[in-house]
A and B are shown apart, each in its own frame.
Chain A
Amino acid sequence: MPSLRLLNVTKRFGKITAINNLSLEIKDGEYVCVLGPTGSGKTTLLRLIAGTLKSDEGAIYIGDRLVNDVQPQERNTTYVPQQYALFPHLSVIENVAFGPTARGLSRKEAYEVSEQMLEMTRLARRAKSFPNELSGGMQQRLALARGLASGADLLLMDEPLGALDARLRVELRYKLRSLVKERGLTAIHVTHDQEEAMIVADRIIVLRNGQVQQEAAPFTVYNRPINIFVAHFVGGANFLEGFVAEADQQGSWIQLRNGLALRTRETGFSLGERIVLMIREEMTQTLRKGKRKEEVNLLSATISSVSFLGSFIVYEISLENGDVVNSKVPTSLSKENISVGEKVYVRLEPEHVKTYPYPTAGLYKELEVI
């Protein structure tokens, strides 16, 4: 069965190193998402595994078999590319049945599998249409149905839900995962959408500049991001610059600009060390101004903007030292309106205040995803 192993794989295009000395292992039956911004090497990685690109260095194993020189069609993988190459002269159902038929299934069996796949991708009603009669989103679902029906155990999908409307994407991602799991497939799914990755994946591999930043379960990637880039790319976070002013066994005091100090439970710094504090937007609490007793990390602040996002409201809040943080509050908990210009408290629980070394290229550069 298809486990997958990459050892020190490098792929260059001229002067650009798209994949840089990358190693990873994927277990049989695992659903892995490769997550990263445009240009991080996600598609290149998938194509190296599919065999439509050849690596410059390193080894790729599917199961125990070294596949560097094995042709794509001999690798027993299904590759669903972003530009879905559908057969234009075949109908929808014929497109899907092509793989199972080629694999030796009878016409009846092949059509049974195909109908099932069209049902799940909600194309059953269009079985007799031709690809050029379908919308972009439908063509993408067709490519997905064809991939799932092909019978290969290792499924490689490049933005399989990318061309769909946001609302439909949300519905299909649950279905996609359960289908892969029901059939016991091993799946590698490339996406730039962190929410999609968290919902479908057993494990997320975060890629940047052709290198793995972190590989872990969704919960870990979100709650213990290994660096500033991962914290920023996976979920909303506030970053504040400061230096270590005091440290004891229970935690540290971090001096921010203009005289503000924050407490964190993290320790092990040298005094004066320059660091970056990170706190998730939903851990950044907004409290109405009123009588409150002195408390650690309770800061006076002013609301500078309010965005309603449906199940959440995001407050942009200016702290007294000039730093700005976002606070994400569930709509159900914020029945009373807080408006722009209102004075509030921001509370940051010390155990939720994480720290990272100050990046050599500067914080701004590290946060640049555009």
Chain B
Amino acid sequence: MVNVTKRYGEILAAENINLQVENKEYMCIIGPSGCGKTTLIKCVAGIIEPTEGEIYTDNKLMNNVPIQDREIGYVFQEIALFPHMNVYENVSYGPTVKGWTSAKTRSLIEEMLNMMALRDRVKDYPHVLSGGAKQKTAIARALSSGSLLLLFDEPLGSLDAKVRTVLRHELRRMVKELELTAIHVTHDQEEAMAIADRIVVMRAGRIIEIGTPLELYLHPKHLFTANFVGESNFMTGQIVAATSGGATVKINGEFLHSAKKVNFKEQKVVVAIRPEFIVMTHPERTTRTWEGRIENKVFIGSTVRYEVRTENGELIAVKRPFASDALKWNVGNRVSLAFPPDSILLYPYPEEGLQKAISIE
């Protein structure tokens, strides 16, 4: 996509988007409601035309190419199955109209039906299927269509949480085995991390950043990403010393050391740290730890999430893996928090204010 912009009257749904998706890549686009992610994928599909800019697939300009000539398979939020065809006929529609009747095509269709657990439903028509079963039929149809580029808009959105985690692995596995290229829009950042080679983070019609799941999680370039992709603690402070080996930040009278080299001039900064990287121990006053008291404890299955009020007044979320020491802490306990320097990220304090910069609405 080269300089793609889409306007609806006064509303700018997508603004000057430049994006390159590689052959056989699995790309996810994430962002809050209304960020323009669906607009973008519909431009690729040809369902809407961009106001400005060009879209190429394999160096062929796609602007004004009719939808049916774009050789794209897609699954959209609003599921569109052929109502007069049963599940099998829907899934085998692409190969059938292309005249592919080989044993290999038939076995691919069979595999799709098995993978989506639709074996028992092949003779059913869409109107008797649940939302989830319709969605699975639509996915199976797209994978069998023979198109090398697949577009998914919330393909797992109408499914139960548990089913979603099972199917996302299957979806990636099939796309990789069939050597397809996929662009997958989702509001679920965990789904994106589990499934994507690279992730595009969008906000208010613009691309904020692009990276592998690991890059976005461990080294987000923007504050917004640090908040949207996984949970982070944010604190405001002043840089008091900076060297090539990192920086020391003063936050409400306490100090933190980051191993990240500061590459900006501002002295006022936002410090971000993931709740699971903070080390919580029994009180042991050293210069390297902050003291505090547990105000809240919530059990979330494989992890426990604590909120610790530190002596300098910050409320800090800490996540501990359940398997280790979660049972020994309770609300009211006094604890020490240590912040590993290599997991402390620093950002210049944003002009619009911290809350605005990380807002997901």
Contact of A328 with B132 at beta-carbon distance under 8 Å, contacts A308-B213, A310-B230, A333-B321 already known: no
Contact B301 A194 (CB under 8 A): yes
- Chain B residue at smallest Cβ distance from A367: B166
- Is the C-beta of B82 less than 8 angstroms from some C-beta in chain A? no
Within 8 A of B (CB), among A77-127: 122
- Residues of A contacting B190 in the complex (Cβ-Cβ under 8 angstroms): 166, 309-310
- Residues of A contacting B302 in the complex (Cβ-Cβ under 8 angstroms): 235-236, 280-282, 312, 328
Docked complex Cα distance between A269 and B10 (Å): 72
Contact A370 B319 (CB under 8 A): no
Docked complex Cα distance between A192 and B164 (Å): 11
Docked complex Cα distance between A120 and B331 (Å): 25
Docked complex Cα distance between A106 and B44 (Å): 54
Contact with B along A149-169 (1 / 0, CB 8 A): 000000000000000011110
Contact B360 A307 (CB under 8 A): no
Docked complex Cα distance between A219 and B302 (Å): 10
| Chain A proximity of B201: nearest CB distance (Å) | 11
Within 8 A of A (CB), among B152-182: 160-163, 166-167, 169
Contact B169 A166 (CB under 8 A): no
Contact of A198 with B299 at beta-carbon distance under 8 Å, contacts A168-B360, A310-B193, A311-B230 already known: yes
Contact A234 B301 (CB under 8 A): yes
- Chain B residue at smallest Cβ distance from A177: B298
Contact with B along A289-317 (1 / 0, CB 8 A): 00000000000000000011111100000
Docked complex Cα distance between A165 and B321 (Å): 25
Docked complex Cα distance between A311 and B305 (Å): 12
Docked complex Cα distance between A282 and B303 (Å): 9
Contact A283 B188 (CB under 8 A): no
- Residues of A contacting B117 in the complex (Cβ-Cβ under 8 angstroms): 368, 370
Contact B32 A311 (CB under 8 A): no
Contact of A307 with B169 at beta-carbon distance under 8 Å, contacts A195-B301, A199-B300 already known: yes
Contact A308 B193 (CB under 8 A): yes
- Is the C-beta of A135 less than 8 angstroms from some C-beta in chain B? yes
- Is the C-beta of A330 less than 8 angstroms from some C-beta in chain B? yes
Contact A165 B161 (CB under 8 A): no
Contact with A along B320-337 (1 / 0, CB 8 A): 011100000000000000
Docked complex Cα distance between A298 and B247 (Å): 43
Specify which of B161, B218, B319 lies most central, judged by the most chain A CB atoms within 10 Å of its CB. Answer: B161
Contact with B along A174-196 (1 / 0, CB 8 A): 10000000000000000011110
- Residues of B contacting A333 in the complex (Cβ-Cβ under 8 angstroms): 321
Chain B interface residue number, banded: 35 or more
- Is the C-beta of B350 less than 8 angstroms from some C-beta in chain A? no
Within 8 A of A (CB), among B202-241: 213-214, 217-218, 228-231
Docked complex Cα distance between A17 and B274 (Å): 47
- Residues of B contacting A311 in the complex (Cβ-Cβ under 8 angstroms): 230-231, 274-276, 303, 319
- Residues of A contacting B322 in the complex (Cβ-Cβ under 8 angstroms): 282
| Chain B proximity of A234: nearest CB distance (Å) | 7
Docked complex Cα distance between A222 and B302 (Å): 9
Within 8 A of B (CB), among A221-235: 222, 232-235
- Chain B residue at smallest Cβ distance from A137: B33
Specify which of A170, A280, A370 lies most central, judged by the most chain B CB atoms within 10 Å of its CB. Answer: A370
- Residues of B contacting A168 in the complex (Cβ-Cβ under 8 angstroms): 32, 360-361
Contact B230 A235 (CB under 8 A): no
Within 8 A of B (CB), among A23-39: 37-39
Docked complex Cα distance between A309 and B191 (Å): 8
- Is the C-beta of B42 less than 8 angstroms from some C-beta in chain A? no
- Is the C-beta of B255 less than 8 angstroms from some C-beta in chain A? no
Contact B360 A332 (CB under 8 A): no
Contact A37 B193 (CB under 8 A): no
User: Which of the residues B33, B163, B213 comes within 8 Å of A370, measured between beta carbons?
Assistant: B163
Docked complex Cα distance between A132 and B303 (Å): 40
Contact A310 B162 (CB under 8 A): no
Specify which of A192, A233, A307, A330 lies most central, judged by the most chain B CB atoms within 10 Å of its CB. Answer: A330
- Chain A residue at smallest Cβ distance from B190: A309
| Chain A proximity of B212: nearest CB distance (Å) | 9
Contact of A192 with B276 at beta-carbon distance under 8 Å, contacts A222-B301, A282-B302, A333-B321 already known: no
- Residues of A contacting B2 in the complex (Cβ-Cβ under 8 angstroms): none
- Residues of B contacting A234 in the complex (Cβ-Cβ under 8 angstroms): 301
Contact A370 B34 (CB under 8 A): no
| Chain B proximity of A50: nearest CB distance (Å) | 22
- Residues of A contacting B319 in the complex (Cβ-Cβ under 8 angstroms): 311
- Residues of A contacting B228 in the complex (Cβ-Cβ under 8 angstroms): 167
Contact of A330 with B276 at beta-carbon distance under 8 Å, contacts A235-B302, A370-B163 already known: yes
Docked complex Cα distance between A327 and B169 (Å): 15
| Chain B proximity of A158: nearest CB distance (Å) | 14
Contact A192 B161 (CB under 8 A): yes
Docked complex Cα distance between A250 and B79 (Å): 55
Contact of A309 with B299 at beta-carbon distance under 8 Å, contacts A331-B276, A369-B166 already known: no
Docked complex Cα distance between A333 and B340 (Å): 12
- Residues of A contacting B250 in the complex (Cβ-Cβ under 8 angstroms): none
Docked complex Cα distance between A199 and B228 (Å): 20
- Is the C-beta of B187 less than 8 angstroms from some C-beta in chain A? yes
Residues of B at the A interface (CB closer than 8 Å) are 32-34, 117, 130, 132, 136, 160-163, 166-167, 169, 187-191, 193-194, 213-214, 217-218, 228-231, 274-277, 298-303, 319, 321-323, 343, 360-361
Further 17 A-B residue pairs, CB within 8 A, beyond A193-B161, A198-B300, A308-B193:
A38-B130, A136-B33, A166-B187, A168-B361, A171-B360, A174-B298, A194-B162, A195-B300, A218-B299, A282-B302, A308-B213, A308-B214, A309-B194, A311-B319, A332-B277, A332-B343, A369-B162
By Cβ-Cβ distance, the 3 closest A-B pairs, closest first, are: A165-B187, A166-B188, A282-B302
Residues of A at the B interface (CB closer than 8 Å) are 37-39, 122, 135-137, 165-168, 170-171, 174, 192-195, 198-199, 218-219, 222, 232-236, 280-283, 285, 307-312, 328, 330-333, 368-370
Could you show 29 A-B contacts with beta carbons less than 8 Å apart?
A37-B162, A38-B132, A137-B33, A165-B32, A166-B187, A166-B189, A167-B32, A167-B187, A170-B231, A192-B161, A192-B162, A194-B162, A195-B161, A198-B300, A198-B301, A222-B299, A232-B162, A307-B194, A309-B194, A310-B189, A310-B193, A310-B217, A311-B275, A311-B276, A312-B302, A331-B276, A332-B343, A370-B117, A370-B167
